[in-house]
Amino acid sequence: MGMKDRSFARGVAREHLENGDHTGWFEELYAAAEGDPERIPWADLAPNPNVTRHLDGKGIQGMGRKALKVGCGLGDDAEYLAGIGFRVLAFDVAPSSIAWCRRRFPHSEVNYTVGDLFQAPADWRQAFEFVLESYTLQVLPPHTRRTAMACIARFLAPGGTLLVIARGREEGEAEGKLPWPLLKSELDGFRESGLEEVSFEDYRDEAEPEVRRFRVVYRS
């Protein structure tokens, strides 16, 4: 996972965010990439090792349970979840992202669909035994995150598990440029939404040692 140039993505995002549009820049970015994953900062064309190390390390298998991937990007994490036995619904707000996933994985068992986290279908409520949120919160403006967390929490079926992975920072530390690291206190939004924190890891990414990560497991 080499470091990609984020300047184009940041420029696209800035224009939308300055106009109060928190999610429209994703579609513009995917469309402008014209099939080149190098234009997508978070696209590595492989499952996120911060996800796989956790789930593989615990020997977690889907066993036919329903899983949801929030902000599926180019689909690698969704395909990984399907590969370990989950029935996966993967959504992204960007139609060009979903079209890209379907081109990459034409015979996939994953249900790729366009969806807006903030306006999700009613039948997604409490519908999933496992939910994966990796790297979406950190590209949303901080003032939208509490709402985003509440939306994510509502997807979990009773007794379901949520895995969250995000960049992290200390209280008082500058948030820097997009992607914006989260504070531990921000993640309290999940507990405020009724979830129980099962584990909290604060660590340095093995592939990018300069990047601090939070990896948190919640249960409904």
What phi and psi, each to the nearest 5 degrees, are found at residue 93?
A: -75, -20
| Residue spans per domain, the chain | 45-219
Calculate Rg over the CA atoms of the chain: 16
Tell which residue, 131, 157, 137, has the closest CA to residue 217. 131
Residues 214, 166: Cα–Cα separation, whole Å: 5
The answer, yes or no, to whether residue 61 has pLDDT greater than 90, is yes
Check if the beta carbon of residue 52 is closer than 8 Å to that of residue 29.
Answer: no
pLDDT-derived band at 2, boundaries 50, 70, 90: very low
pLDDT-derived band at 64, boundaries 50, 70, 90: very high
Preceding peptide of 179 cis, ω within 30°: yes
Residues 218, 197: Cα–Cα separation, whole Å: 4
Residues 68, 86: Cα–Cα separation, whole Å: 9
Instruction: For residue range 154-204, list pLDDT tens digits in order.
Output: 999 999 999 999 999 999 999 999 999 999 999 999 999 999 999 999 999
Mean of the per-residue pLDDT values of the chain = 94
DSSP string, 142-155: GGGHHHHHHHHHTT
Residues 180, 13: Cα–Cα separation, whole Å: 12
Which pLDDT does position 13 carry in this prediction? 82
Instruction: For residue range 19-60, list pLDDT tens digits in order.
Output: 888 888 999 999 999 999 998 988 999 999 999 999 999 999
Please tell me the number of Cα atoms within 13 Å of 106 on its side-chain side: 1
Say what percent of the chain tops pLDDT 90: 85
Say what percent of the chain tops pLDDT 70: 98
Instruction: For residue range 119-152, list pLDDT tens digits in order.
Output: 999 999 999 999 999 999 999 999 999 999 999 9
* pTM of the predicted model as reported, rounded to 2 decimal places: 0.94
DSSP string, the chain: -PPPP-HHHHHHHHHHHHTT-SSHHHHHHHHHHTT-GGGSTT--SS--HHHHHHHHHTT---TT-EEEEES-TTSHHHHHHHHTT-EEEEEES-HHHHHHHHHH-TT-SSEEEE--GGG--GGGTT-EEEEEEESSGGGS-GGGHHHHHHHHHTTEEEEEEEEEEEEEE-TTS---SSSPPEETTTTHHHHHTTPEEEEEEEEE-SSSTT-EEEEEEEE-
Give the architecture (CATH level 2) of 45-219: 3-Layer(aba) Sandwich (3.40)
The answer, yes or no, to whether residue 1 has pLDDT greater than 50, is no
Tell which residue, 130, 99, 128, has the closest CA to residue 113. 99
